[in-house]
Amino acid sequence: MNMNKLFLPLLAGLLLGGAARPAQAQHFTYEPVNPAFGGNTFNGSWLQASAAAQNRIADPTAAAQNGLGGPGDALTQFTTNLNQQVLAQLSNRLLTSQFGQGAIKPGTYSVGAYQIIVASGSGGLVVTVTDRGTGNKTTITIPTGP
């Protein structure tokens, strides 16, 4: 059999069959789901609930922030409070030994890796603390009088 005899009628049938029917198309419109990207605003709570349900990692600070911690919370708070008081006492003693009793006197002081410059300014006492390792500076103005 000749291949052209089979191929030509098949090709003609396809062409005529395709021409006999009008082409059909659909109109597709993309709409995002997430409201942050233009989706429906009512999807926000559903997306948040879905994400929270899938989250398997517990936040260790959430229990302490919500007051829902276990029996060790009072002990943890006590330890933190005690540490803060000890550090406050140490810093108070350090300041007293470095600057003496009474008001801080203007001048330049070195404490560890920090350089502290105390100067009188128009708004009060200006304290500039410089980290000599990084060069970062912090300026604190302590108002004097009313």
What is d(CA 73, CA 64) in angstroms, rounded to the nearest whole number? Answer: 7
Quickly tell me which residue has 């990207």 as its tokens. Answer: 37
Domain that holds residue 144: 104-146
pLDDT, mean over the chain: 77
Give the pLDDT mean for 20-47.
82
- Residue 78 domain-assigned? no
Residue 58 carries which DSSP code? -
- Residue 142 domain-assigned? yes
Decide if pLDDT at 6 tops 70: no
What is d(CA 38, CA 49) in angstroms, rounded to the nearest whole number? Answer: 19
pLDDT at 15: 63
What is d(CA 29, CA 54) in angstroms, rounded to the nearest whole number? Answer: 29
Decide if pLDDT at 43 tops 80: yes
- Residue 46 domain-assigned? no
- Residue 125 domain-assigned? yes
What is d(CA 126, CA 119) in angstroms, rounded to the nearest whole number? Answer: 5
- Residue 146 domain-assigned? yes
- Residue 134 domain-assigned? yes
The burial class, CB within 10 Å (0-12 / 13-18 / 19+), for 129 is middle
Number of H helices, E strands in the chain: 4, 4
Provide the domain count of the chain: 1
- Residue 53 domain-assigned? no
**pTM (predicted TM-score):** 0.36
- Residue 52 domain-assigned? no
